[in-house]
Amino acid sequence: MDYKEKLKASRDRVSGAPKDTFDEEMESDRGRSINSAAVRRLQQKTQVFPLETNAAVRSRLTHSLEVQQVGRYIAKLILKKLGEDRLNEFNLADKKEGFVSAIEIACLLHDVGNPPFGHFGEEAINHWAKSTLLPIFDEKFGDNIEDDIRVKDLMKFEGNAQAIRLLHSLQKLNLSYTQIACLLKYTRAAHEPKPENGDRFNYRKKKPGFYFSESEFVEKLRSELNINDGCRFPLTYVMEAADDISYCIADLDDALDKRILTVDQLHEAISTTWDKLKIGKLPEDDIEGNRYLTDVINSGYERYKKEPHNKSHAYILTLRTTLVNDLANYASDRFIDNHESVFNGTLDESLLDGSDKFYLATKTLKKVASSHVFSNKEVERLELKGHAVISGLLNIYTPLLKLSFSDFKKLMQTNMLKPYPIETRLFHDLPQKHKHTFEEAVIVLYERDTVSSEDETTELYYRARLIIDYVSGMTDRFALDEYRDLSATA
């Protein structure tokens, strides 16, 4: 294993201010990322509770900062446990700072592609694509167009794939291949089918990781970093583990803050769920393992009972402190124990997977959040509201997709289409940056004297991306305000 193959400073475009070392190039990536609009928008996208006014409840930004810290901790544990001899053996000794920084920034950026209203926003985009966008392609190009990879690609919006598109194609941050590779959590293109159970890529390809529009870029990245098809980049496993550790605790913390659950209710839910999940999963003679999460929450409950003031904080702080430390150590051990398969990207599971007490602890907390928080009436009503907003906005901009190739070309070139006053005004409403990205993708098509059906399909693909990029990039509040303004429902 030679990390010189993986940790490289190369970029898709030559940097205007090249640095001398890999560590310094990662500092450059840090600056580009932290100062990006993509990160700033995270402060107005909420983690679980859309349109939340309580600043104590996590936004996507505060969640990402927590993930960043956990990722940094795991990265440092890995380097410490490897020791100087192995760091030298793997050519990591002179890249330690860059190794940590790349993981940190991947953790900070991991949610930038998520649309307003979280995963329900994703559902709204995918529902619109199948119910509204697909019939437009069918009408223009015939029923067989459904088998076209570009159309299949549009049917599967995914926040992780959108993050790659946002950072590379829209924001044009020109991050290093190494930095972007850390974010490729899933390794299949959006048009590829989901693998069957038992497939050796089942975990790594369970969701789309990138779109047709970024496929050439991803191929260059894989070639540069020696990543085989379907395989991950080694540092991605750490980013994923940090995210899983953070949100399985944070969602329950927010539920306490929102008073969706009391400490007594949460304590009982964790205890009951743990007792059910561990049956048959842990050896009966493993007394310490069977009591692991019980002992953690009981320790928190004792602090809760003794604390005179911020009692719920005392409970959740105990859980967070203990679990973050234990799970980070577990993830770092799993990284090292499976080092070769992690390095090659062939490990088809998370660093937190397994069959021991730590895996079951995270599964328990996620199950409690799913059954007691996400199903809460307030959360579900907010999700329904978000679905209506996203669907409504996409439907408002749909007339732009119904225009012919020649009409939209004229609109792009002249900024005016007299026979279509609504479409003209909708076009004016789109951000110039997004229109410029679209123009770059289709300029060759627009310069041709004659175009084929294939050309028109490609143009409509990028036109659909233009609309999806705009709506998915909105913050929760901006999306709601835009929907109200454009639908006159204020």
Q: How confident is the model at residue 440 (pLDDT cuts 50, 70, 90)?
A: very high
Report pLDDT digits (tens) over 220-265: 999 999 999 999 999 999 999 999 999 889 889 988 888 889 999 9
**What's residue 53's pLDDT?**
63
State yes or no: is 111 an active-site residue.
yes
User: What is 198-266 written as a DSSP string?
Assistant: T-TTTTTTSSEEE-GGGHHHHHHHHHHHT--TTPPPHHHHHHHHHHHHHHHHHHHHHHHHTTSS-HHHH
- CA dist 9 and 19 (Å) reads 9
Q: At residue 161, does pLDDT exceed 90?
A: yes
Query: Are the C-beta atoms of residues 400 and 467 closer than 8 Å to each other?
Result: yes
Q: At residue 22, does pLDDT exceed 70?
A: yes
**What's residue 50's pLDDT?**
66
**What's residue 255's pLDDT?**
87
Choosing from 425, 428, 436, 484, which is the catalytic residue? 425
What's the rounded mean pLDDT across residues 368-377? 85
Choosing from 23, 29, 111, 469, which is the catalytic residue? 111
Q: At residue 444, does pLDDT exceed 80?
A: yes
Q: What share of the chain is helix, strand, coil (3-state, %, to 5)?
A: 70, 0, 30
Q: At residue 120, does pLDDT exceed 90?
A: no
**What's residue 221's pLDDT?**
98
What's the rounded mean pLDDT across residues 358-382? 88
What's the rounded mean pLDDT across residues 123-151? 96
**What's residue 20's pLDDT?**
84
Report pLDDT digits (tens) over 291-305: 999 999 999 999 999
Report pLDDT digits (tens) over 422-431: 999 999 999 9
What's the rounded mean pLDDT across residues 460-480? 96
Instruction: Give 76's contacts (C-beta < 8 A, 6+ positions apart).
Output: 100
Q: CB 449: neighbour CB atoms within 10 A?
A: 4
Choosing from 29, 153, 243, 251, which is the catalytic residue? 243
State yes or no: is 243 an active-site residue.
yes
State yes or no: is 110 an active-site residue.
yes
Smallest CA-to-CA distance from 170 within 481, 468, 478 is with 468
Regarding predicted confidence, which is higher, 326 or 354? 326
Task: Identify the structural domains of the chain with CATH numbers, from first to last.
Answer: 3-115+141-235 (1.10.3210.10), 244-376 (no CATH), 378-487 (no CATH)
Percent of the chain with pLDDT over 90: 82
Q: Letter for the amino acid at 363? A: K
**Is beta strand 188-189 parallel, antiparallel or unpaired with respect to 208-210?**
parallel
**What's residue 52's pLDDT?**
64
Query: Are the C-beta atoms of residues 216 and 334 closer than 8 Å to each other?
Result: no
- CA dist 420 and 425 (Å) reads 9
Q: What is the 3-state secondary structure (H, E, C) of 346-387?
A: CCCCCCCCCCCHHHHHHHHHHHHHHHHCCCCHHHHHHHHHHH
H or E segment to which residue 189 belongs: strand 188-189
Regarding predicted confidence, which is higher, 425 or 377? 425
**What's residue 380's pLDDT?**
83
Choosing from 110, 168, 334, 387, which is the catalytic residue? 110
User: What is 282-293 written as a DSSP string?
Assistant: S-TT-HHHHTHH
- CA dist 236 and 473 (Å) reads 23
Provide the β-strand partners of residue 208.
188
Q: At residue 374, does pLDDT exceed 90?
A: no
What's the rounded mean pLDDT across residues 67-94? 97
State yes or no: is 428 an active-site residue.
no
Percent of the chain with pLDDT over 70: 98
Residue 145 DSSP class: G
Tokens of 83: 């020791």
Q: How confident is the model at residue 381 (pLDDT cuts 50, 70, 90)?
A: confident
**How far are the Cα atoms of 33, 271, 451, 460, 486 from residue 145, in angstroms, in the given order?**
38, 52, 17, 12, 32
Q: At residue 33, does pLDDT exceed 80?
A: yes
Instruction: Tell me phi and psi for residue 296, to 5 degrees.
Output: -65, -50
Q: At residue 383, does pLDDT exceed 90?
A: no
Choosing from 41, 63, 72, 387, which is the catalytic residue? 63
Q: At residue 378, does pLDDT exceed 80?
A: no
Q: Which of 72-76, 248-252, 327-331, 449-453 has the lowest mean pLDDT?
A: 248-252
Provide the β-strand partners of residue 176.
11
**What's residue 49's pLDDT?**
66
